[in-house]
Amino acid sequence: MKYITTKTTFLFVLVAIIFCISACKSSNSKIKNDIEIKENGLHVEEAYLTNGNQSLIGNDNKVKVGERISLRLVVTGWTIKNGKVFLDASQRTSTSDGTTLASNPSLFGYVYAGGASAESAKYILLYQNIGALDKHYEYIQISFKIWDKISNKSVTGSCKLHVDTP
CB-CB contact of 128 with 141 (8 Å)? no
110 or 57, higher pLDDT: 57
Cα separation, 87 vs 96, whole angstroms? 29
* Predicted confidence band of residue 29 (pLDDT cuts 50, 70, 90): confident
pLDDT number for residue 5: 52
Q: Does residue 3 have a pLDDT over 70?
A: no
- The proportion of the chain whose per-residue pLDDT surpasses 90, expressed as a percent, equals 76
Give the three-class secondary structure for 34: coil
For residue 164, the model assigns a pLDDT of: 87
pLDDT recorded at residue 65:
92
Distance separating alpha carbons of residues 33 and 82, to the nearest angstrom: 36
Instruction: For residues 95 and 48, give the distance between their C-alpha atoms in angstroms, rounded to a whole number.
Output: 20
Distances (CA, A) of 54 to 14, 64, 69, 102, 162: 42, 14, 9, 22, 18
Question: Residues 161, 139: contact at Cβ < 8 Å?
Answer: yes
- What is the band of 1 on the pLDDT scale with cuts at 50, 70, 90? low
Q: Which amino acid appears at position 67 of this protein? A: E
CA 139 to chain centre: 16
Question: Are 126 and 89 a contacting pair, CB within 8 Å?
Answer: yes
Tell me the average pLDDT of the chain: 87
Give the C-alpha separation, 134 to 132, whole Å. 7
- Reported as half-sphere exposure (CB side, CA atoms, 13 A), residue 134 has a value of 7
Is the pLDDT reported for residue 130 higher than 50? yes
Q: How many CB atoms lie within 10 A of CB 124?
A: 21
pLDDT score of 136 more than 70: yes
Condensed to tens digits (0 to 9), the pLDDT of residues 109-129 reads 888 999 999 999 999 999 999
3-class DSSP state for residue 43? strand
Residue 75 has pLDDT above 90, yes or no: yes
Distances (CA, A) of 102 to 24, 135, 164: 34, 16, 19
